[in-house]
Amino acid sequence: MKKLLGEERRLKLLTLLKQQQRPITGTDLAKHTNVSRQVIVNDMNLLKARNEPIVATSQGYLYMEEQRTGIFERKIVCMHTGEQTREELYTIVDCGVTVENVIIEHAVYGEITASILVSNRLEVDLFLDKLAETNANFLSALTGGTHLHVISASSEDLLDKAVDRLREKGILVEN
């Protein structure tokens, strides 16, 4: 396979991302284009700078279509220990709800948002395994456990159900 150069490679990357509904790892994209993973990271940054809706998740890169019809979103505030993260995420996804991201308010950097994009227990486990493998800290460790999530689902009822379950567990922060 020949090494794809510059713009030709970035067009190939966009095509690959648009064809997938699930994230693709930088390593897989590097294999498809015969370059290093670091070249892919640089290409993704260049594509994002052109306002391509590419999101880097713990599972890989995802092309986010602008139009998401029939999807309801809500921003919620949670507070818990790092040890309760699996319980929090399982509670949400078990209600048929996707955890889009985590947001914290940092004293120096302001709002920091990181994509999570987990919709089921397997994706939660993969996300948490990746954190453990890399010895990464939860963003909420910077804020004493307080953080926000954008959650999404196919109905308001599913969002309500997830919020109710988090409330019952004492994880949801309200007024």
Residues 54 and 77 occupy one common structural domain: no
In DSSP terms, which residues pair with 79 in a beta bridge? 146
Check pLDDT > 60 for residue 45: yes
The domain spanning residue 22 has which CATH number? 1.10.10.10
Residues 99 and 140 occupy one common structural domain: yes
Residues 85 and 138 occupy one common structural domain: yes
Check pLDDT > 70 for residue 147: yes
Q: Output the pTM of the full model.
A: 0.76
Q: Which two tokens stand for residue 48?
A: 């994002």
Residues 31 and 79 occupy one common structural domain: no
Q: Which two tokens stand for residue 102?
A: 């985590």
**Residues 60-65: what's their mean pLDDT?**
86
The domain spanning residue 152 has which CATH number? 3.30.1340.20
The CA distances from residue 138 to 81, 90, 144, 169, in Å, are 10, 16, 10, 20
| 3-class secondary structure, 105 | strand
Give the range of the structural domain holding residue 30, as residue numbers without chain letter: 6-63
Residue 68 pLDDT: 61
Classify residue 107: in a domain, yes or no: yes
